[in-house]
Amino acid sequence: MNTFLDHQNWRYATKKFDATKKITAEDLDILMEAIRLSSSSYGLQPYKILIIEKPDLRAKIQKAAWGQSQVVDASHLLVFANQTDITDAQIDDFFENTSKTRGVAKETLAGYQGFMKSKINELSGDAKNIWNAKQAYLALANLMNAAAELKIDVTPMEGFSPADVNEILGLNELGLNATLLAPIGYRHSDDATQHYKKVRKSKEELFITI
């Protein structure tokens, strides 16, 4: 079987982590780079990823996540937080970075810069918030795929109170909103769900060829 598919069959939403096992700094750096290289609409990456190391913060977040043990037992806890807005200044920063990275004059980018601003500024505040959150999901997918290749477990979690996590981490003041939690680490041998067969729709049910 294709190696990528092997990794996908290996991974699952881990219910119980082994709190004694920690991800190495080298592997964590690979996962961070995988997130950094993720695709996003226009390439804007309108989100931040917080790596929560402090036990007291993780304990508070656990309460906001309905007491789920993964939040505190995993090696690391990542919080994907989308920007609640996209400003012209942030778009200008993106094109400044593009100019420096690709070694092109900013003037040659002005047309696309104006187009991007016009399209994004058409969106309402709520629409921007939702659109930005969708971009964070793309970054999560890259994390999950890279982690599976390293045989590192990830539990993508929407089961938490974003408002409470925002307050705990002071995200409102940063113009951010907690979108997803992603505990990462190593499955506990006692986690029976790792032995369950993966339940998915068949190709015939899932795909429509037109």
Mean pLDDT of 96-117: 97
1 pLDDT higher than 70: no
For the segment 137-156, the average pLDDT, to the nearest whole number, is 98
Q: What is the pLDDT of residues 151-188, one digit of tens each?
A: 999 999 999 999 999 999 999 999 999 999 999 999 99
Percent of the chain scoring above 90 in pLDDT: 99
Report the predicted TM-score, pTM, of the whole model to 2 decimal places.
0.95
The mean per-residue pLDDT over the stretch 121-141 comes to 97
pLDDT band at 31 (very low <50, low <70, confident <90, very high): very high
The residues, any chain, with a CB within 8 Å of residue 13's CB and separated by 6 or more, are: 155, 156, 193
Helices (H), the chain: 3-10, 25-36, 55-64, 70-73, 88-102, 110-121, 125-149, 162-169, 203-206
Burial class (CB in 10 A: 0-12, 13-18, 19+), 5: exposed
Residue 32 has pLDDT above 80, yes or no: yes
Which pLDDT value is given to residue 8?
A: 96
Question: What is the spatial distance between Cα 56 and Cα 134, in angstroms, rounded to a whole number?
Answer: 29
Give every CB contact of residue 38 below 8 A, 6+ residues apart in sequence: 45, 138, 139, 141, 142
pLDDT at position 2: 83
**Percent helix / strand / coil, the chain, rounded to 5:** 55, 15, 35
Q: Go through the domains of the chain in sequence order and give each one's CATH number.
A: 3-83+127-184 (3.40.109.10)
Contact 98, 109 (CB under 8 A): yes
- Across residues 90-98, what is the average pLDDT? 97
Token reading at 48? 């931040």
- 43-46: long-range contacts, CB 8 A cutoff, minimum separation 24: 43/94, 44/86, 44/90, 44/91, 44/94, 44/135, 45/135, 45/139, 46/82, 46/83, 46/86, 46/90, 46/131, 46/132, 46/135
What integer best gives the mean pLDDT of the chain?
97
